[in-house]
């Protein structure tokens, strides 16, 4: 079955679009008719993914506010207005203690995961507000909703969730909706590498979710695209935990875990 072409004539910009969840969002947006600007810091992968999807490639370091401003100016000079923005660029960190976490790594995680999201919202979202239309989805994480030994990543993602609420109220009367998606354990290249190194057990990750499964980037992309669509026209300022029920299942571990499936 072909995708509904409900984004015809609309320009979408996806940061972190060359891999993982960002790439999944790019693929689904193009399938549903959007014109795409694919932004990522990895030059080779950015151009390859953009070529494959028929998108405009934008090599961008979201932690560089001046570079984000310059990217907006270039698009504007081309007569292009971003209607849909997905902020997916981000990095992860190792679960170090505060004593072992290098301060430079702490700063880098915040600069990309939070400040980069803020910069793209401030630059592209402000242009949307001036135009009186637009929709933004920021990618946070369930790590921003629970205590974890991720003393840079978790606070950064919590800040992204708060930012979405703030900007939703800021721009609501200007016709711009801002929502957040908080993925659970999603099989991106980063998670797969940890699994391959034996640092994560996929069976344990599945066991700690209500649905008993891991998540694919395409699963998250479907939630993102829904929030961008007119079907979600009354939704703004919300955070959707797309986590296969990880948040609700965690406390069941003290009772031996989530129950087995009912017999059929």
Q: For 215-240, write each residue's pLDDT tens digit.
A: 999 999 999 999 999 999 999 999 99
Under CATH, what is the fold of the domain 11-255? Rossmann fold (3.40.50)
Residue 1 — pLDDT band, cuts 50, 70, 90?
very low
How many Cα atoms are found within 13 Å in the side-chain-facing hemisphere of 52? 12
Active site residues: 153
Burial class (CB in 10 A: 0-12, 13-18, 19+), 132: exposed
Q: What is the CA radius of gyration of the chain?
A: 18
The stretches of the chain forming alpha helices (DSSP H) are 20-31, 43-53, 65-77, 103-109, 116-120, 126-131, 153-171, 189-196, 202-207, 217-228, 246-249
Q: Is residue 128 helix, strand or coil?
A: helix
Total count of residues recorded for the chain: 264
> What is the domain partition of the chain in residue ranges?
11-255
**Does residue 138 contact residue 87 with C-beta atoms inside 8 Å?**
yes
pLDDT at 190: 83
DSSP state of 58: E
Stronger pLDDT, 69 or 189, i.e. the higher one: 69
The answer to whether the Cα torsion of 133, 65, 137, 78 is positive or negative is positive
């Amino acid at each position: 079955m072909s995708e509904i072409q409900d984004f015809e004539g609309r320009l979408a910009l996806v940061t972190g679009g060359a891999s993982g969840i960002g790439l999944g969002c790019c693929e689904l947006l193009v399938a549903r008719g959007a014109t795409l600007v694919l932004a990522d810091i990895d030059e080779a992968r950015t151009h390859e993914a953009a070529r494959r999807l028929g998108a405009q490639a934008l090599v961008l370091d979201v932690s560089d506010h001046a570079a984000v401003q310059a990217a907006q100016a270039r698009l504007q000079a081309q007569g292009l207005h971003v209607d849909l923005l997905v902020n997916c660029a981000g990095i992860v960190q190792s679960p170090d203690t505060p004593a072992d976490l290098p301060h430079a790594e702490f700063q880098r995680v915040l600069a990309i995961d939070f400040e980069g999201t803020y910069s793209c919202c401030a630059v592209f979202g402000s242009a949307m507000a001036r135009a009186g239309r637009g929709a933004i989805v920021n990618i946070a994480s369930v790590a921003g909703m629970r205590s974890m030994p991720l003393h840079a990543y978790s606070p950064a993602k919590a800040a992204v969730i708060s930012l979405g609420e703030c900007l939703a109220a800021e721009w609501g009367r200007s016709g711009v909706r801002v929502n957040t998606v908080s993925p659970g354990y999603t099989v991106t290249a980063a998670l797969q590498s940890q699994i391959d190194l034996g640092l994560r057990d996929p069976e344990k990750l599945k066991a700690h979710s209500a649905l008993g499964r891991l998540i694919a980037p395409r699963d998250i992309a479907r939630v993102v695209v829904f929030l961008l669509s007119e079907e979600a026209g009354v939704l703004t300022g919300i955070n959707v935990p797309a986590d296969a029920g990880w948040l609700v299942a965690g406390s069941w571990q003290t009772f031996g875990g989530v129950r087995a499936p009912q017999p059929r």
